[in-house]
């Protein structure tokens, strides 16, 4: 499992996935819940999957019958849950240290 540079959009996606780590979400649903644009969330999901933090599966439907494209569902892996919690904790620690260093004038 590799480490990823944590950007604000990646942290927002991780926080959303951690709300219910066992739940599968499709990309547009995750984007909406995280407050991100779909064009932002899909590269994030690819990076997370490459790092082993999420796994995905294609929906098993007939797209013509359903009247929409098949969805790809994403879910955190056990390693992803740990990595997500660590990344969020690290960001919170950095933020807390940054606040204490500010001058009060």
For residue 73, the model assigns a pLDDT of 97
Prediction pTM value: 0.84
pLDDT, tens digit, 9 for 90 and up, residues 48-98: 999 999 999 999 999 999 999 999 999 999 999 999 999 999 988 887 776
Structural domains present in the chain? 8-94 (1.10.10.10)
Average pLDDT, the chain: 90
Task: Give every strand in the sheet of 54-58, ordered side by side.
Answer: 25-26, 72-76, 54-58
Q: In the chain, how many H helices and how many E strands?
A: 5, 3
């Amino acid at each position: 499992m590799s480490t990823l540079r944590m950007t604000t959009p990646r942290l927002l996606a991780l926080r959303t996935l951690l709300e219910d780590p066992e739940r599968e979400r499709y990309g547009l649903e995750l984007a909406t819940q995280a407050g991100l644009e779909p064009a932002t969330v899909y590269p994030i999901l690819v990076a997370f999957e490459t790092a082993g933090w999420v796994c995905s599966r294609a929906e098993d439907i007939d797209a013509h019958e359903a009247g929409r494209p098949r969805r790809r569902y994403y879910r955190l892996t056990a390693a992803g849950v740990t990595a997500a919690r660590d990344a969020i904790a690290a960001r919170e620690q950095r933020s807390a240290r940054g606040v204490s260093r500010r001058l009060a004038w």
